[in-house]
Amino acid sequence: MEEDGNQKKHRKRQAGPKAEKKKAKNKHQQELTPQQRNPKAFAIQHAQKTAKLIRRTQDIKTKKQHIPLVDRTPLEPPPIVIAIVGPPKVGKSTLLQCIVKNFTKQRLANVQGPVTVVSGKTRRLTLMECNNDINSMIDLAKVADLVLLLVDASFGFEMETFEFLNICQVHGFPRIMGVLTHLDAFKDNKQMRKTKKRLKHRFWTEVYQGAKLFYLSGMVNEEYQKTEVHNLCRFISVMKFRPLQWRLTHPYIVVDRIEDITDPETIRQKPKCDRKLSMYGYVRGTHLKNHSMIHLPGCGDYSISDMQSLPDPCPMPDKEKKKTLHIKERLIYAPMSGVGGVIYDKDAVYIDLGGSHSLKQNVEENDEPMNELVASLMNVNNPLDQKMGTSQMTLFSNTAPITEADIKEDSEADDEEGTARVRRSADFNDVAATNQKQEKQTEDLVFDDSDEEEESFNLFSNSVKNQTVSSSERTGKMEESVGSESGSDSNSDSDDEETSSKKLKLSRTTGDSKTANSSEIVGANVTLSSSGKNVDTDTPKGLKSDNSNSETEDSDDDMEEEEDDENEEDEESEEEEDSGEDISDEEEEDEEGNLKWKANLAAAAAESFKKRQTERINYRKLIYGKVEEDKEGEEEDDELGGLFKVLKKKDEKNNPNISANMTDSSKCVPDKLQSWELEEIQDLIKDCFVTGNWDKSEDAKALLEQDDELFGDFEDLETGEIHHGDGEDDVDDDEENDDKEDDENADGEPSVRKKTKAEKTAMERRMEKKKKLKELFDNEYDMKGDNEFYDNWKLANEEQAKLNRAEFENMEDSLRVGYEGFRPGMYVRVELDRLPCELINNFDATYPLILGGQQSVEGNIGYVQTRLKKHRWYKKILKSRNPLIISLGWRRFQSIPLYSIQDHNFRNRLLKYTPQHLHCHACFWGPITPQGTGLLAVESLTGSEPGFRIAATGVVLELDKSMQIVKKLKLTGTPYKIYKKTAFVQGMFNSMLEVTKFEGAKIRTVSGIRGQVKKALKTPEGAFRATFEDKILLSDIVFMRTWYPVEVPQFYATVTSLLLPPAEKAAWVGMKTLGQLKRERSIMAPPKEDSLYKPVERKKRYEPTLKIPKDLQKMLPFKDTPKVLKAKEDPYKRVAVILEPHEAKVNKMMKMVQNLYRHKLKSDKMRMRERVSKHQKEMDRIGVIKARKQKQVKKDIYRALGKLQKKNEKYKKD
Amino acid sequence: MSGGNIMSFEGCNYFRQRLILSTLSGKTVRIKKIRSKEDDPGLKDFEASFIRLLDKLTNGSNIVVNETGTSILYQPGLLVGGKIEHECNTQRSIGYYLEGLTCLAPFTKKPIHAVLKGVTNDQIDPSVDMIKLSTFPVLKRFLGTDEGLELKIVRRGAAPEGGGEVTFSCPCRQKLRPLQFTDPGKIKRIRGVAWAVRVAPVVTNRIVDSARSVLNKFIPDIYIYTDHYKGSQSGKSPGFGLTLVAETINGAFLCAENSSNPKGSDKGPSVPEDIGKETAKLLLEEIYKGGCVDSTNQSMTALFMILGQQDVSKVQTGPLTPYTIQFLRHVYSFFDVMFKIEPQQVSEEDEDLRTGGEKLILTCVGVGYSNISKAVS
């Protein structure tokens, strides 16, 4: 110990290289976070405060989240609609021209309607100017993606600006960019800056804080400054847009070209006839389907009669990597404007933009005509084709006219034939066939008829439908194919023919109803497929149906054969039964038969299944092909039905079909089961079960191996041991052994090579492993937390979007359109029938024409309940039952709303007027529109009133076909007889029946005594017995509170502003309010009798004295007792005094003396008064004299004094 | 509003499809020549009963039937739902009505609580058991959850006289979810219900045994519940039957069922063993056809696929039944939606797997349908 103590301690080096080395080695690393080191410091000290803090951070986080939507933006989006809006004289047209010029380097002189330009490599713009009409503003706000809101800075904001902003708010807020113009009107720079700032802040409060506001300072040569416009355009072309709910779910087209394709002859004959118009434009929003319902705002509801996609007239530039657009790619498309000097015209003459690049375009696209003349011809919408198509040729007086469609159909049928032949494989049920021999002859005859004489036959027969040509021809072809097929088959030809003919017959008897026919076929399919023996044949079935068509049609001719047919029907049904029996017989045979036969059967069955698997049924044709054909057929029927009786006969003939009236059940029970006892058949579904074989990707064993490869080996970090997975063990061991051997042997090159290879694979494996682990970790930890749900949701939506895009991506457009509809971004031509002639006659390109697509449900009308608020800037309040013009969905219409408010018990109580600053419910008869859609109401469309026009805004809450709105109704009656608590009340009801309806109802008196209706009385009519909680008085009024349902008026009228002549377009007037009508016709409302003023007649009131009962008085304290002391009675007066005559004499004397004395006093007084007044007069007179004298004296004295003073003064002066 | 919105059909077949699609699409339907050439022309009682059920379910619908009942005009109103009690005609089982109800139930104003009385099981229509076992899982995929989705068999009533009662409740939704279900996976278990009313309880055991004898070769996990109803719960006619369902690991349910011949039928009484075997074979048949939805539910699945958002929905099915094919045609005429129907491509690796018949992939884009009846606040 001592030694230890004596020894010198080791001192560490404090400096020098060694010390530094050591320091570097033992560098202190903080492995713990501060929170771990000092958890107390981070403990929650204020629970409330922390809770608040957490809540706040969560709030902020959640506020940032939007409900994830599936991204449905198309790959090639339609041009962005830019609406240029502002009051008149603010510079809208100039701006539009400047923007167009900026993009295309061209100046448009006269802009009308939408102008589409290519703005960049990925963007096109459709520019539209909005005129100063609230109709246009509403329509444009519904379709615009970006709004350039022009404001005259020298004037400030105008009403229109705010109106438009409010319209936008209601119909989904598109992007809004403010543009201040007329800034050169300011002389004073400071003034301008101030105005700018003021306007900016006002704009911000309307749109959002920090909304972009552009300034266009002065004009140069009637145009805005180039740099400023350029900047504006750059802003436009990089702008991002938010998807708007309504437009995500509704397709729409902003029409940029319209043609009248009605037959000119009919127009000439009837100028007011309904028109057929074709409209052109880009599909926007979502997929638009052919034949879907559309609404033309300002016109009405129609359904698309036809729709085609056209090549894009203003295509996106090529996807080459270039910085800027080539001048030839800067396209412009504005058919309604006067582009290149030729003006859009009703006769559909539209000439493409002249200039260099249009020529270039022509060269590029071969479809494009070479010159303007051809272009104009082209744009008359293929009139020749159209006419050829619609024209009809009648060969014989009684035949149906032949149209081009027929010929087309022929060719189509041929085509179909071609395709149908591929999937044919003929094998028929032999058993069924054998029974048919006797019928073969007749059937073949019929068949041959149609085959050989198809053309002439059709032409000559009276009862031929157009389609017959095609179908009979088809049958002919079919037969041929059958023949050829059967020839190759081992079966005999005749048998085959027989079967086919039999099938024909069958199908004929079952009829060819459009719907039932092919379903039957498939039913047959199923049965066939399930019966293991039959090598299945789908195509013959298809054939059968086709044939059946022709058959029935042919059979129209031979009406006399009907009876025969019926007989045949019977026979056939028997035959069918027969065949069924046969089958069962066979089954029995099977069961009885020897094993060999059985094995054969199983093999055949297996083969048939295999065959079936390889076969491809064209389901599209099976399901939809028929439908389309049938539709065509129907249309033709419609066209010709009125003219030709033949068709009707045919319909009747078609009618007695059995399949159309079969039992309707979704359960599909196969008639004959496969023989599941057989091993072979059982094996067919062996792998459907978990016990069977699995896919390679899912097989547990394979997966396990794979996992082992990835995760099997790991390194224990503590011990440094390396564990290997089972799968790898052998290899690794080998490797290790090898390594050892290598080490030992110190073998040269081969070992090195091996080693590197092994290492490499190991490295790779490790990398892979790490990756997978990281993924696992990420999945486990990154996703956990508050955002997990949200992130998952987003992810699912993204996946859906990906699928939506990918599903039909590689499909041909013509097919794809059938599945999806016309997708947004396609340029389409839409044909509409039966449009009013005013639409085209009064067409004005400055009014936007929109085709708004909608669901078929949205075409119906019902009661719409909305939450509504009168606009705070609207001067008046709105009155129930006053018509209101409402903009909802695509529509603008007039309807009569009833305002109501919901009580706490969910009763909708009618309001006479909208509340001033509250929301209320408004219910009206209108179009069914999805809940949550915004709406807007105006009282009149004309801008004649100076104030703010938007009367109310709201949102749709509920749709129904009936509405329960009630108003309060008080029934009053009077009691006419009262017992203790029972009273008989009359005057409330008119009959016993009414009373019985209200038995048990609550009633009340004015004084607040509650009661109940008990029972009706016989007399007087309508009286009833009622009980109350207390005795009521006869003078009480008894009343009952009830609710009376109010009907919402069923009035709905579309605002047809587009149909009005141009001068009146802005002033559509619908139903007028009662007030307006009265004002117009100066009708005064008749005053109510009760409201007239009359002189008040008041009865004199008799006030009863207050009487306090004696008992009560006794109990009262003395202070409160009434102190009405009785006047002390004169004790003498009480006795009637009868005087003696003497006494009476004395008394009389005394009275006289008294009277005399009184009279004396009185006269003395009178005299005294007289004297006094006389004396007074005297004194007055004396006083006057005295005063005069005194005055004189005073005068004298003052005069003397004055003189004296003067004298003194004089003296002094002197 | 627009008069051109009328669809015309002929014949009584697919009567339900037409009325249901009409109700959902809002298009007016006219059906003419209903059994016009038969001895007993016009609508049958069960169809009239179905119309009455629709009338209870909707508000403001206008139904005009001509004197002979051979023609009907149906102007649909808005679906209301709520509490409904309906005496179903005994010519068809409750399944006939319930199928219609399930198609409409997600789009009502208020969640449906329906009490249906009549025949619970017969040989024509899917029974209530089948609907519960195979339709509900499909419905659940579209609704998102099966909360509030319930079918309770209060009383069982066999054909022909019925006397059964079921309660059906279904939540309503603003929008349905798109469905992507193309891999049913392997069958992991088979479950079932063997029921008997007004016959000896041992019948159920006999059914179970015979069914198991067929199915045991394929999978060991089989459990068939025996369900014997007594007393007031047993309806008016005797009967027994079996419903089997095969559940896959991905939650597809394939269902098959069979029941005894109704009392007084000309086929004579059924033997329980036969029923059991037959049903087991039907199930195997159904498994052979395969798909993510069984053949009974194909049409309903297709309907909900198109009534979703404008997203792509995909489902794998077995071969289409005639009923489905007609339904797809009707869907095309009512909603203008076509289905892309393609046989499923089998990868080379899996070609040697024996998984039954050819499968189809049905693909469609939803029409962006939303429930217009349900109120929002």
Please state the rounded mean pLDDT for residues A826-853: 93
Find the closest chain A residue to B32 by CA distance. A655
pLDDT at position A214 over 60: yes
Q: Can you count the helices (H) and strands (E) in chain A?
A: 38, 35
CB contact under 8 A, B2 and A293: yes
CA distances for A526 relative to A291, A521, A1030, A1122, B322, angstroms: 33, 9, 81, 111, 9
pLDDT at A705: 73
Chain B CB contacts of A292 under 8 Å are 336
Please give the interface size between A and B, counted as residue pairs whose CB atoms are below 8 Å apart.
286
**Complex confidence, ipTM:** 0.92
Are the C-beta atoms of A148 and A179 separated by less than 8 Å? Answer: yes
Please state the rounded mean pLDDT for residues A636-662: 46
Chain A CB contacts of B13 under 8 Å are 515-516, 659-664
Q: Note the helical H segments in A655-781.
A: 679-683, 700-711, 726-745, 749-777
Higher pLDDT, A487 or A715: A715
Chain B CB contacts of A515 under 8 Å are 9-11, 13-14, 326, 329
Q: What is the distance between the alpha carbons of residues B19 and B32, in angstroms, rounded to a whole number?
A: 13
Max distance between CA atoms of chain A, in angstroms, equals 188
- The burial class, CB within 10 Å (0-12 / 13-18 / 19+), for A793 is middle
Q: What is the distance between the alpha carbons of residues A853 and A248, in angstroms, rounded to a whole number?
A: 11
pLDDT at position B303 over 90: yes
Reference B313, options B357, B368, B372; nearest CA is B368
Amino acid in the structure at residue A1197 = I
CA distances for A815 relative to A283, A809, A818, angstroms: 17, 11, 5
Find the closest chain B residue to A634 by CA distance. B8
| pLDDT tens string A374-385 | 444 444 444 444
**First CA to last CA across chain B, in angstroms?**
27
Please state the rounded mean pLDDT for residues A530-539: 38
Q: What is the distance between the alpha carbons of residues A130 and A847, in angstroms, rounded to a whole number?
A: 8
Higher pLDDT, A517 or A796: A796
Average of per-residue pLDDT values in chain A: 75
Q: What is the distance between the alpha carbons of residues A824 and A717, in angstroms, rounded to a whole number?
A: 59
Amino acid in the structure at residue A369 = P
| pLDDT tens string A708-722 | 666 655 555 555 555
Question: B228: distance to nearest CA of chain A, Å?
Answer: 25
pLDDT at position A640 over 70: no
CB contact under 8 A, B13 and A515: yes
Percentage of the residues of chain A whose pLDDT score is greater than 70: 67
Chain B segment 258-297 residues within 8 A of A by beta carbon are 278, 280-282, 284-285, 287-288, 290, 295-296
Q: Are strands B312-317 and B360-365 parallel, antiparallel or unpaired?
A: antiparallel
In this prediction the pTM is: 0.71
Chain A CB contacts of B323 under 8 Å are 519, 664-666, 668
pLDDT at A337: 78
pLDDT at B58: 94
Higher pLDDT, A641 or A1054: A1054
Reference A1187, options A1175, A1195, A1199, A1176; nearest CA is A1195
CB contact under 8 A, A932 and B376: yes
Question: In this structure, what is the dihedral angle of CA atoms A471, A473, A476, A478, given to the nearest 10 degrees?
Answer: -60
Are the C-beta atoms of B159 and B119 separated by less than 8 Å? Answer: yes
Q: Chain A interface, mutation test: which of B9, B21, B312, B335, most A Cβ atoms within 10 Å?
A: B312
- The burial class, CB within 10 Å (0-12 / 13-18 / 19+), for B347 is exposed
Query: Can you tell me whether residue A302 is helix, strand or coil?
Result: strand
CA distances for A1189 relative to A196, A830, A844, A1184, A1186, angstroms: 91, 125, 110, 9, 5
Residues written for chain B: 377
pLDDT at position A457 over 60: no
pLDDT at position A635 over 50: no
Please state the rounded mean pLDDT for residues B252-280: 92
CA distances for A933 relative to A136, A890, A927, A1196, B173, angstroms: 20, 10, 12, 109, 18
Q: Note the helical H segments in B180-239.
A: 202-215
pLDDT at B89: 94
| pLDDT tens string B83-106 | 999 999 999 999 999 999 999 999
Question: A1032: distance to nearest CA of chain B, Å?
Answer: 44
- The burial class, CB within 10 Å (0-12 / 13-18 / 19+), for A898 is buried
Are the C-beta atoms of B105 and B74 separated by less than 8 Å? Answer: no
Chain B segment 133-172 residues within 8 A of A by beta carbon are none
Chain B CB contacts of A522 under 8 Å are 320-322, 325
Lowest mean per-residue pLDDT among A285-294, A668-677, A711-720, B135-144: A711-720
| pLDDT tens string A945-968 | 778 999 999 999 999 999 999 999
| pLDDT tens string A995-1017 | 999 999 999 999 999 999 999 99
Q: Note the helical H segments in A453-511.
A: 454-460, 466-488, 493-510
pLDDT at A653: 38
Give A242's contacts (C-beta < 8 A, 6+ positions apart).
Answer: A175
Find the closest chain B residue to A678 by CA distance. B214
Lowest mean per-residue pLDDT among A630-639, A865-874, A1192-1201, B112-121: A630-639
CB contact under 8 A, B282 and A804: no
Strands (E), chain B: 6-10, 28-32, 58-59, 62-65, 72-75, 78-79, 81-87, 110-118, 150-155, 164-170, 180-181, 187-197, 222-229, 239-248, 253-259, 312-317, 340-343, 360-365
Lowest mean per-residue pLDDT among A143-152, A639-648, B159-168: A639-648
Amino acid in the structure at residue A1147 = N
Tokens coding A687: 């792998």
Q: How is A347-379 classified by DSSP, letter by letter?
A: T-------SHHHHHHHHH-TTS-SSHHHHHHHT
A1111: part of which helix (H) or strand (E)? Answer: helix A1110-1115
CB contact under 8 A, A70 and B218: no
Instruction: Taking the CA atoms of A685, A689, A691 and A693 in sequence, report the sign of the dihedral they define.
Output: positive
Q: What is the distance between the alpha carbons of residues A639 and A405, in angstroms, rounded to a whole number?
A: 13
A866: part of which helix (H) or strand (E)? Answer: strand A861-870
Identify which of A515, A690, A857 has the shortest CB distance to residue B14.
A515
pLDDT tier at A683, thresholds 50, 70, 90: confident
CB contact under 8 A, B353 and A693: yes
pLDDT tier at A600, thresholds 50, 70, 90: low
pLDDT at position A347 over 70: no
Q: What is the distance between the alpha carbons of residues B143 and B140, in angstroms, rounded to a whole number?
A: 5
Q: Are strands A1024-1028 and A1038-1046 parallel, antiparallel or unpaired?
A: unpaired
pLDDT at A266: 93
pLDDT at A26: 80
Q: In the block, which residue shows the tokens 């078609």?
A: A654
Tokens coding A822: 């016309």
Alpha carbon A196 to its chain's center = 38
pLDDT at B356: 83
Find residue B168's DSSP bridge partners.
B114, B151
Are the C-beta atoms of B134 and B107 separated by less than 8 Å? Answer: no
